Amino acid sequence: DARPNPNINGFSASLGCYPIASQLARHLDLNTLHNLSLTCRQFRANLLQFRSQLVKQTLHCANEDVQIGSRLAERLRESHQTWQTGQAGRITSGKVGHCARDMVGECRKCGKVVCRNCIMKLPPRNTFNGRLRRLCKTCTRVPLWYHTRLRDSWSGNRPATFTESAYARGPCTCVDAGVWLCNTCGQSLRADDLAYTRGWLWRTRYSNYLGGLGTGIGEGNEGVECGLGEQCFAVRDVVQEIECDADELAALECEAKQAGLEGREWRGASYLFQEIEGIGGAVKKKVKKRVRLGAVVKEYEDEREHSDHLRRERDGSARCWCCWCARVLPGRKD
């Protein structure tokens, strides 16, 4: 009793108030709440009196309220659709058990709250370099804090509110803290990384076949796009021809039926819709769309000679973008 207690302060007193402790527990999982109680004896004494209530109110997974039967039916429908269409997707039943409460957190990319049973499987260490994306010249020169803010809060000047840091997206920590992504965000990671790597290789060979006359990676409209994509600071509008999917074909058929009901007639192609005969006589329907693409990234001379792409991004000398968690990786100048 004679020794003073340095842990009696405003925060320890707030932990002894049930409404404040209850609201705090809704944002913590069981492990974090346990670590908070182990901070000191005063914190443990204040939280121990509400233990039974706080344990039930901790952060829970977004899939916890979904019934196991409906979850299993959804996984089976996904596997059946994959076998019928032949497209790349889930062919197994997936996770259909109960969710955990000890390790729960937000998805690093979309912000969905998932537990350790609902996150994607940890990829091998040798695939971590495939997540890096090169930024264009404009995105590498803007201040770093622009890349750590949500796109909806961007403005001409830096916001001066005291709550700004609460909505900041920190740099990528996939290597240090681990990959914490939901299954939805982690389904096509390997396919996207492979397509991006093949894009670099294709552009290198394409420039060599044509003699290197204005066909480098950093030249023309066919260059490698900035890693930010549509959110690039030097974004541009480009008209592209893509094959019609099922939704677009249904919309065109609905438009043709509507034209017939109104006494109009629509046949053949148009400026935005064309029919092209492919290999083997197959007729493909293509539609023109105006899309937003990022600026073309820079290609260095040593990369063109040795085909060692993204070396500056791997060693940390240049600023780059992580496509797994949609966060920036600072460079040495940052």
18 lies in some domain: yes
What are the residues whose beta carbons fall under 8 Å from the beta carbon of 277, sequence distance 6 or more? 283, 284
Percent of the chain with pLDDT strictly greater than 70: 73
97 lies in some domain: no
Is residue 320 helix, strand or coil?
strand
pLDDT in tens, 229-263: 888 998 888 887 777 766 766 776 777 677 666 66
Mean of the pLDDT values across residues 261-266? 64
Mean of the pLDDT values across residues 179-208? 82
- Higher-confidence position of 302 and 252: 302
Mean of the pLDDT values across residues 1-21? 88
122 lies in some domain: no
Total structural domains in the chain? 1
Please check whether residue 297 is in contact with residue 226, taking contact to mean a CB–CB distance below 8 angstroms. Answer: yes
* pLDDT above 70: residue 130: yes
Mean of the pLDDT values across residues 145-173? 63
Separation CA 67–CA 144 (nearest Å): 43
User: What confidence score (pLDDT) does residue 267 get?
Assistant: 59
Please check whether residue 181 is in contact with residue 118, taking contact to mean a CB–CB distance below 8 angstroms. Answer: no
Six token digits for residue 108: 């690093």
70 lies in some domain: no
Domain that holds residue 23: 10-57
* pLDDT above 90: residue 166: no
Six token digits for residue 226: 């900035």
- For the ranges 42-46, 119-123, 301-305, the maximum mean pLDDT occurs at 42-46
- Higher-confidence position of 72 and 195: 195
Closest of 70, 80, 137 to residue 300, by C-alpha = 137
User: What confidence score (pLDDT) does residue 88 get?
Assistant: 47
- Label residue 319 by pLDDT band (50, 70, 90): very high
- Higher-confidence position of 318 and 270: 318
5 lies in some domain: no
183 lies in some domain: no
284 lies in some domain: no
Closest of 180, 111, 171 to residue 144, by C-alpha = 171
51 lies in some domain: yes
Eight-state DSSP code of residue 124: P
Residues 11-24 as b/e (b if ≥16 CB within 10 A, e otherwise) read: ebeebeeeeebeeb
Separation CA 140–CA 218 (nearest Å): 15
Is residue 36 helix, strand or coil?
helix
